[in-house]
Chains A and B, each alone.
Chain A
Amino acid sequence: MVNSLTDEELYKLARKARRHIIEMVYSAKSGHPGGSLSIIDVLITLYFRELNVSPSKPDDPRRDRLILSKGHASPGLYSALALRGFIPEESLAGFRKLPSKLEGHVHYGIPGVEASTGSLGQGLGIGVGLALASRLDSINNHVYVILGDGEIEEGSVWESLMAGYKFKLGNLIAILDRNGVQLDGYTEDIMPMIDLRRKVESFGWNVIEVDGHNIAEITAAIEKAKLQRDVPTFIIAKTVKGKGVSYMENNPKYHGAPPENEELYQRALSEIGDA
Chain B
Amino acid sequence: MVVESLREAYGEELTKIGERDRDVVVLDADLSSSTKTALFGKKFPDRFFNMGVSEQSLVSTSAGLALGGKTAFVSTFAVFLARTYEQIRQAVCYNNINVKFVVTHAGITVGEDGATHQMVEDVGIMSGLPNMKVIVPVDSVETRSVIRFLHEDLKTPSYTRLTREKFPVLNDPGYEFKLGKSVIMRDGSDMTIIANGAMVAFALKAADELKGKGIDARVINMSSLKPIDRDAIIKAARETGRIVTAEEHSIYNGLGSRVSEVTGEEYPVPVRRMGMRDTFGKSGSSWELFDYFHLGVHDIAKISEDTFRGER
Contact = CB atoms under 8 A, between A and B. Distances in A.
A134 B25 CA distance: 13
Contact of B49 (A61, A123, A132): A132
Contacts of A244: none
Interface stretch (B51-59, B162-170, B204-212, B293-301): B51-59
A133 B46 contact: no
A125 B70 CA distance: 15
Interface string A104-133: 000010000011111101111111111111
Contacts of A160: 57, 60-61
B173 to A, nearest CB: 34
Contact of A130 (B52, B54, B67, B95): B67
Interface in B39-84: 46-47, 49, 51-52, 54, 56-57, 59-70, 72
Contacts of A119: 86, 89-90
A200 interface: no
Interface string A212-232: 000000000000000000000
Nearest to A161: B57
A134 B68 contact: yes
A163 interface: yes
A27 interface: no
Of B47, B70, B72, most buried by chain A (CB within 10 Å of CB) is: B70
Interface of A, helix, strand, loop or mixed by DSSP: helix
Given A115-B95, A132-B64, A159 B57 contact: yes
A107 B218 CA distance: 47
Given A130-B68, A162-B52, A156 B90 contact: no
A125 B64 contact: yes
A192 interface: no
A136 B61 contact: no
Contact of B61 (A114, A117, A125, A134): A125
Contact of B51 (A134, A136, A163): A163
Contact of A136 (B47, B86, B89): B47
B61 to A, nearest CB: 4
Interface residues of B, number: 29
B61 A163 contact: yes
B64 A127 contact: yes
A62 to B, nearest CB: 12
A247 interface: no
Contact of A122 (B46, B54, B65, B87): B87
A36 B194 CA distance: 53
A156 B95 contact: no
Nearest to A160: B57
Contacts of A122: 56, 60, 63, 87, 90-91
B87 A129 contact: no
B175 interface: no
B94 interface: yes
B68 A115 contact: no
B67 to A, nearest CB: 6
Contact of B56 (A117, A159, A167): A159
Contacts of B60: 122-126, 128-129, 156, 160
A137 interface: yes
Contacts of A162: 52, 54, 57
B56 A125 contact: yes
Given A132-B49, A136-B47, A126 B61 contact: yes
A127 B66 CA distance: 11
A155 interface: yes
Contacts of A163: 51-52, 54, 57, 61
B57 A125 contact: yes
Contacts of B54: 159, 162-163
Contacts of A136: 25, 46-47, 70
A267 to B, nearest CB: 36
A133 B57 contact: no
A47 B83 CA distance: 36
A160 B52 CA distance: 11
Contacts of B63: 115, 122, 125-126, 129
Given A116-B91, A126-B63, A129-B67, 16 more contacts: A114-B67, A115-B64, A118-B90, A119-B89, A122-B91, A124-B60, A125-B57, A125-B59, A126-B64, A128-B57, A132-B49, A133-B64, A160-B57, A162-B52, A162-B57, A163-B57
11 contacts: A61-B69, A115-B95, A125-B60, A125-B63, A129-B61, A129-B64, A132-B25, A132-B68, A133-B65, A159-B52, A162-B54
Q: Which 9 A-B pairs have the closest CB atoms?
A: A129-B64, A125-B60, A133-B68, A159-B57, A156-B56, A159-B54, A126-B64, A129-B65, A129-B61
